[in-house]
Structure 1
Amino acid sequence: MFKKIIALASSLALSALCITGCGPTSSDTNQTEDKKTEKVTIAEVTHSVFYAPQYAAITQGFFEEEGIDIDIINTNGADKTMAALISGEAQVGLMGPEASIYVYNQGNENYAVNFAQLTKRDGSFLISREEMPNFKYEDLKGKEILGGRKGGVPLMTFEYVLKQNGLTIGENTAAGEVNIRSDVQFGVMTGAFVGGEADFTTAFEPTGTALEKDGNGHIVASIGKDSGEIPYTSYSTTKKFMAENKDLLQRFTNAVYKGQLWIQTASDEEVAKAMQPFFTDISQDDLVSVVNRYKKVDVWSQDPVLKEDSLNKLMEVMKEAKELDKEPPYKDIVNTNFANNAIKNVK
């Protein structure tokens, strides 16, 4: 899939002039009193409460304090997020670090560099059609599951958990194999599941809670809890943009870290209230429930440093999924200077 990124990025670049001309870019500035505000577009891989520290950093004014005006576009997939980044439609991408690994290994000179980690576990949950209060992974033998895009971290992490629990992945469900389908696009998996496809699906919040409320599914397991810590989602930008916008990226990382610190001490109700402007179709009570669920799983990073051993764990998962044959140097695709400086400077 990622082999198509460069071609997709090229086509996006032709339309980016129109797209970014109607929205914010880092080169656009506003004067507010004596302070210059720079606009930054974040392309997020999906729109989810999973990214609570980001939304809190916006609504609590942390980006504003750093002189940054944020615009967010939802791309529905890491491949599309990377394409938006490479084409210039967005200045910062929020996605799994695996995307930068794929692009680096393709030999793209202007590859993506990860500079701030946001989440440290898989934020998806396993959804069944029936209530299963005593669910065990062996219950998935002979079942069909909608797992996400091939090569994406959600699918690879889920497969990793299944293998750790002694299950065999394959299409022979009659022999007890677990059939993990990757033919349904991430953005329409929920609709396909509700429409009757597969026995289980995976979903992030608030989708999982919505399925339960509508009587269309039941959350039976946290994939993030069962897979262990992994650098699941991070901010990245192109090598060229990083070289030319160090001060901007430092201020961006400062704001992210402020959001991470704030969310560690805020109540579930306070976090839900901070996110409400981004999830107006979800009740406050449901948001509180979702926040509590994510806190229990411990999905959010305490600071923005993407450590080398964490990246190695991700690459272990990728190799287990047979999606990685060459490990890129950590120092090439990760820059921790901005994160470490944020920890020093933000009080």
Structure 2
Amino acid sequence: MLIMKRLTALLLCLIMLLALAACSKDENGLRKVTLNEVTRSVFYAPLYVACSKGFFAEEGLEVDIVTGGGSDASMTALLSGEADAALMGPETGIYVTNQGKADHPMIIAQLTKRDGSFLLGREADDSFDFSKLKGKSIIAGRPGGMPYMTLLYVLRQHGLEPGSDVEVISNIQFNLMGGAFESGTGDYVTLFEPTASAFAAQGKGHIVTNMGLESGEVPYTTFMMRKDTIENEPGFAAAFVRAIYRAQKWVWAAGDEEVAYAMQSYFPDTDIATLSAVAKSYRATDSWTKVPTMTEDAFTRLQDILDGAGELAARIELSELVDNSFGEAAISEIG
């Protein structure tokens, strides 16, 4: 009995310590937040703007961004409690939900609405056509990831069957795709910015098409939080989404060079001219969402893509995975 009491007391202490750690504040009284991002990309510009322009700080948050290197790693960090929030593809949330986990994370905000990658070939091709991919190979990321599944969707839209008409290389880790292409693997590769532009500038590859324009609108990158975090700290979740929404509004109102300077500290090896050009490209293709909420139609299209890739165990309702309440509140408050 004494041992059980001591174990119970120890368990309670551990729970209290974890709670204190999760809600710890710095010397300025800001709530410390660990955010795990799937990869580092200009595609996520509004996130970096929320940090650099002080929108998180104004909401009482100090955000530390950790790069996971893949949606699986980001989801693991979120589920384990290593991260308070995570930025990753919404498909990962669908997979976890379909595993029957009642405590699966929830999507609280959407950041991007198109594939943010570009298709690069080994030769410049101003007259590129998808028919030229027949008999070729493409490094496409890993099965189950949005870059991979979106590529399959686009290929089929152009009458090409992956695996028979085109070899889709899917055994290379996401953050190693550029290096693999540079070393001679594949005829083509899909890369995000600023890597795509850097490869083109250095003659390592040539951008032939924008995958986002080819795929159409689809929820591509979202912010997720654990259910217990949302239930225990709704004020934190609301503050986080408000900061993101304010950054979204700022990005769409600012000039490309302003956006470039606002996120330069997150891309120290990329010059302002390149960051400005990339920001202009993503703006022109309407890649960034203007509001943090997700629509029913977009969620359906996402599941259509997963289904076409053979990765959808069962369809789920929007409300099972997406909590638009914080986004709706932010829009109502801020306008």
Show structure 1 runs of 5+ residues with no match. 1-16
Residue 290 of structure 2 corresponds to: 302
Query: What is the CA distance between 1:25 and its match in structure 2?
Result: 6.0
Query: What is the CA distance between 1:31 and its match in structure 2?
Result: 4.3
Counterpart Cα distance in 2 of 1:128 and 1:296: 22
Residue 272 of structure 1 corresponds to: 260
Q: Does 1:254 align with 2:246?
A: no
Give matches, 1:310-325, under 5 Å: 310-325=298-313
Q: Does 1:27 align with 2:23?
A: yes
Any conservation in 2 of the 1:37–1:67 contact (CA below 8 Å)? Answer: yes
Residue 38 of structure 1 corresponds to: 31
Give matches, 1:144-155, under 5 Å: 144-155=137-148
**Runs (4+) of structure 1 moved beyond 2 Å?**
none
Any conservation in 2 of the 1:42–1:92 contact (CA below 8 Å)? Answer: yes
Give matches, 1:117-266, under 5 Å: 117-170=110-163, 172=164, 177-266=165-254
Counterpart Cα distance in 2 of 1:38 and 1:26: 9
SS at match of 1:234: strand
Any conservation in 2 of the 1:42–1:94 contact (CA below 8 Å)? Answer: yes
Counterpart Cα distance in 2 of 1:147 and 1:30: 41
Residue 116 of structure 1 corresponds to: 109
Please list the CA deviations of residues 31-81 of structure 1 after superposition, one character each: whole Å capped at 9, or x if unmatched: 43xxx3101111100000000011111111111110000000001110111
Please list the CA deviations of residues 158-209 of structure 1 after superposition, one character each: whole Å capped at 9, or x if unmatched: 1101101111111x4xxxx101110111111100000000000000000001
TM-score (norm 2): 0.93
1:297–1:25 distance in 2 versus 1, CA, 3 Å: farther
Of 251, 257, 276, the match for 1:288 = 276
Please list the CA deviations of residues 130-185 of structure 1 after superposition, one character each: whole Å capped at 9, or x if unmatched: 00101011110000000001001111011101101111111x4xxxx101110111
Please list the CA deviations of residues 271-292 of structure 1 after superposition, one character each: whole Å capped at 9, or x if unmatched: 0000011111111111111111
Counterpart Cα distance in 2 of 1:296 and 1:115: 26
Any conservation in 2 of the 1:112–1:236 contact (CA below 8 Å)? Answer: yes
Residue 322 of structure 2 corresponds to: 334
Any conservation in 1 of the 2:98–2:313 contact (CA below 8 Å)? Answer: no
Counterpart Cα distance in 1 of 2:301 and 2:60: 35
* Amino acid across the alignment from 2:126: P
Counterpart Cα distance in 2 of 1:25 and 1:52: 29
Counterpart Cα distance in 1 of 2:26 and 2:37: 24
Any conservation in 1 of the 2:55–2:246 contact (CA below 8 Å)? Answer: yes
Residue 11 of structure 1 corresponds to: none
Any conservation in 2 of the 1:25–1:40 contact (CA below 8 Å)? Answer: no
Any conservation in 1 of the 2:68–2:74 contact (CA below 8 Å)? Answer: yes
Counterpart Cα distance in 2 of 1:25 and 1:50: 31
Query: What is the CA distance between 1:86 and its match in structure 2?
Result: 0.2
Counterpart Cα distance in 2 of 1:323 and 1:227: 18
Any conservation in 2 of the 1:25–1:39 contact (CA below 8 Å)? Answer: no
Aligned alpha-carbon RMSD (Å):
1.4
Any conservation in 1 of the 2:89–2:221 contact (CA below 8 Å)? Answer: yes
Name the % identity: 43
1:25–1:42 distance in 2 versus 1, CA, 3 Å: farther
Show structure 2 runs of 5+ residues with no match. 1-13
Any conservation in 2 of the 1:25–1:91 contact (CA below 8 Å)? Answer: no
**What is the aligned residue count?**
318
Counterpart Cα distance in 1 of 2:334 and 2:51: 16
SS at match of 1:315: helix
* Amino acid across the alignment from 2:83: A
* Amino acid across the alignment from 1:156: M
TM-score (norm 1): 0.89
Counterpart Cα distance in 1 of 2:25 and 2:150: 40
SS at match of 1:56: helix
Any conservation in 2 of the 1:63–1:255 contact (CA below 8 Å)? Answer: yes
Query: What is the CA distance between 1:29 and its match in structure 2?
Result: 0.6
Query: What is the CA distance between 1:114 and its match in structure 2?
Result: 0.3
